[in-house]
Structure 1
């Protein structure tokens, strides 16, 4: 007697998956297009976020690349959430503290732009960047996410002044207006800068595919550099497919008040 096939387990409604593409810029138009096409095919449409850099390293201004700006608007109109992702994405600050210097040196390749900025300078870049991105997409951004997920005191102060709906770092998503944390847990991401970093990111992604779904919200982030290594692209494909099969594909907006939240999320926390 043939065994009956196992029933397909539907995605859990109280376990969410949020996927984002970082460093969206005219400087990386082709890699971004490839990532968007792949992720859209896996998730069944443009059910992901893009983190847009207004002028990547001062060499790719969004307001001077109309073709890419039109493409951004097409994605936004189709439902892709658009976040402001810094201004230059390059760290040019002279860090006064040892902790900030260590973060700038070891956690990113000189791209923690908002780690050492004053509140005034951070606010200026946030407002100018938001204006440029919103002009391109024809609507409001969903929030602000600092390059390399690194925020200094000035950036955190500017976040409140600019009234962004959401912000995110390595370990949480929060509402700058009142510091309410709406999701917790590390981001699953990949690294292409060195063989060692690539290898470790592949191990972490493999673990994310096999570990129990204890986090209510799991975030996955990809970068243009990922397309340079097929091992990373294969891992990204497998990981998103696996997690989307077990979780409900969600948007960052689903974390805001009015959307269903799981126990342990939505608490306030001093930052």
Structure 2
């Protein structure tokens, strides 16, 4: 398969005024690997209720500059914090073990999920004067209410840990695990480095591979080394792509 048909999709999560410095460092690192700003940013409108974008004019300018440079902007929840009470063992397990209280859309009902999706979209689109690329739930976790809301919200693209799909018509656009890292404990640092080492070889034959980084990664040199190794390996015979390529490919 020629390199033009093989893609690497990269993204920076948790883009917020709260992590402005870390996001800048990640953007520089990814641009170095990808030959420019050929990645997506997942924007949180008010991270944990402590970093609202709405009245931050300096951050508005940054979003406009990123968009003008060709970076795809996704809505990434509203608060990125999970305040829901979860019913059922499966949802409770995901909330406790798959994220540190950040699965915002795991327990939301359809109406509340749709309201946050729409408000996040309106905020970002009003700032940049253009449409967002899609929606990605914090921690890639969706409950039934969020899935139902996606069908109404009209986002072109959504993704979780194992796939990218179009909520408009339900098409699965690509499958495969996203390569990402965790920085919140020694155990998770070690396990994410081990998974990335395996994935950068095991996923090499796939047509489309996704890599996602987070602001917390910048504080752990071992994670940065692993991120660099993943990009170096996965870009062999592969072209940096954009999520919107999946809609036409």
Aligned to 2:56: 65
Confirm whether residue 151 of structure 1 aligns to residue 120 of structure 2: no
Per-residue CA deviations over 1:105-125 (Å, capped at 9, x if unaligned) read 000000000001010000000
Residues 151-190 of structure 1 mapped to structure 2, 5 A cutoff: 151-190=142-181
Match of 2:182, SS state, is coil
Instruction: Give the 4+ runs in structure 1 shifted more than 3 A.
Output: none
Tell me if structure 2 keeps the 8 A contact 1:15–1:213. Answer: no
Extract unaligned runs of 5+ from structure 1. Answer: 1-9, 261-271
Shift of 1:66: 1.2
C-alpha RMSD of matched pairs (Å)? 1.3
Confirm whether residue 199 of structure 1 aligns to residue 190 of structure 2: yes
Aligned to 1:267: none
Quickly say closer, same or farther: Cα 1:45–1:104, change in 2 above 3 A.
Answer: same
Extract unaligned runs of 5+ from structure 2. Answer: none
1:44 to 21, 35, 42: 35
Tell me if structure 2 keeps the 8 A contact 1:11–1:244. Answer: no
Shift of 1:214: 2.8
Distance 2:204 2:234 in 1: 9
Distance 2:199 2:71 in 1: 24
Confirm whether residue 86 of structure 1 aligns to residue 59 of structure 2: no
Superposition TM-score, scaled by structure 1 size:
0.89
Aligned to 1:77: 68
Tell me if structure 1 keeps the 8 A contact 2:13–2:213. Answer: yes
Aligned to 2:22: 31
Match of 1:245, SS state, is coil
Shift of 1:11: 6.8
Aligned to 1:104: 95
Tell me if structure 2 keeps the 8 A contact 1:191–1:198. Answer: yes
Distance 1:212 1:100 in 2: 28
Distance 2:203 2:148 in 1: 36
Quickly say closer, same or farther: Cα 1:220–1:11, change in 2 above 3 A.
Answer: farther
Tell me if structure 2 keeps the 8 A contact 1:17–1:217. Answer: yes
Match of 2:181, SS state, is coil
Shift of 1:69: 1.6
Confirm whether residue 218 of structure 1 aligns to residue 196 of structure 2: no
